[in-house]
């Protein structure tokens, strides 16, 4: 499952995997294993950055312990119901995305709502979760030109991912809809709606 392990400075290892599913499964196993000295794990699309406290462990012994981690498949962690996110599917790129993928807009909405999404990792902005689905990916290109201000709550697609913009920000993803569910709220614990590992389901707002 592990493709390779490389040092990232003096207190982290970058572990590369073949697939995003492997990343999510290994992250689950790593959390369960609670290896001594590990302080934080940062998920990526094909990697986990494992930070450690050099006073408590070292790169070599940590590297050895990684081989003993038992991955936890996403299906085995389905103890909670997915978070439900109602979406109004009226995004500016909805028609163009449907045309590109050879679907009607109804079929595109059915594809987006008809699968369970898992937050693979977060980045770009606090609460911006890169969501990966269970259905075959559309592998959409980003827009040729980036928008200077994508409104907060925009539901978007790019590459193998779907996402919801937690705040108004520049962005090049294809916009298919919008939601009023905040992805980031400081008065919530945790403030992110979908930290890495969280499962989500989108529903069309008028049918919710």
Q: What is the 3-state secondary structure (H, E, C) of 7-22?
A: ECCCCEEEEEECCHHH
> Under the criterion CB under 8 A, does residue 197 sit at the interface with another protein?
yes
Q: Does residue 127 belong to the site contacting another protein (CB under 8 A)? A: yes
Closest CB 131 distance from another protein, rounded Å: 13
Q: With CB under 8 A as the contact rule, which of the stretches 3-11, 104-112, 132-140, 147-155 interacts with another protein?
A: 3-11
As measured in angstroms, the least distance from the Cβ of 107 to another protein is 28
195 belongs to the binding site for another protein (CB under 8 A): yes
Half-sphere CA count of 137, side-chain side, radius 13 A: 14
Burial class (CB in 10 A: 0-12, 13-18, 19+), 135: exposed
Among 1, 2, 14, 35, binds another protein (CB under 8 A): 14
User: CA nearest 92: which of 176, 206, 204, 203?
Assistant: 176
Residue of 96, 124, 143, 203 interacting with another protein (CB under 8 A):
124
Instruction: Tell me if 33 contacts another protein by CB under 8 A.
Output: no
Alpha-carbon gap, residue 82 to 72, rounded angstroms: 17
Indicate whether 129 belongs to the interface with another protein (CB under 8 A): yes
What is the distance between the alpha carbons of residues 102 and 196, in angstroms, rounded to a whole number? 31
Residue 143 DSSP class: P
Residue with tokens 């090049």: 172
Decide if 164 contacts 179 (C-beta within 8 A).
yes
Binds another protein (CB under 8 A): choice among 29, 191, 201, 204: 191
Closer of 47 and 174 to another protein (Cβ): 47
Interacting stretch for another protein, rule CB under 8 A, among 64-72, 80-88, 104-112, 123-131? 123-131
Is 192 a binding residue for another protein by CB under 8 A? The answer is: yes
Q: State both tokens at 130.
A: 């890169």
Is 126 near another protein (CB under 8 A)? yes
| Contact criterion met (CB below 8 Å) for 170 and 95 | no
Site for another protein in 62-91 (CB under 8 A): none
- Token readout for 129 is 């979760």
- Least distance to another protein, CB of residue 158, Å: 11
List of residues contacting another protein (CB under 8 A) = 6-12, 14, 39-49, 51, 121-130, 166, 184, 186, 190-192, 195-197
């Amino acid at each position: 499952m592990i493709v390779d392990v490389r040092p990232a400075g003096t207190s982290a290892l970058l572990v590369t995997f073949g697939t995003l599913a492997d990343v999510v499964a290994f992250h689950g196993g790593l959390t369960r294993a609670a290896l001594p000295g590990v302080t934080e794990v940062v998920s990526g699309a094909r990697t986990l950055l494992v930070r450690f406290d050099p006073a408590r462990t070292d790169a070599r012994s940590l590297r050895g312990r990684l081989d003993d981690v038992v991955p936890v498949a996403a299906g085995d962690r389905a103890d909670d119901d997915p978070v439900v996110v109602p979406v109004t599917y009226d995004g500016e790129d909805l028609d163009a995305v449907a045309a590109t993928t050879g679907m009607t807009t109804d079929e595109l909405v059915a594809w987006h709502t008809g699968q369970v999404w898992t937050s693979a990792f977060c980045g770009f902005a606090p609460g911006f979760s890169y969501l990966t689905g269970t259905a075959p990916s559309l592998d959409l290109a980003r827009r040729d030109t980036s928008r200077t201000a994508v409104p907060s709550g925009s539901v978007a697609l790019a590459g193998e991912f779907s996402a919801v913009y937690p705040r108004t920000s520049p962005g090049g993803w294809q916009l298919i809809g919008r939601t009023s569910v905040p992805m980031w709220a400081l008065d919530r614990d945790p403030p992110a709606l979908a930290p890495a590992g969280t499962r989500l389901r989108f529903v069309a707002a008028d049918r919710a």
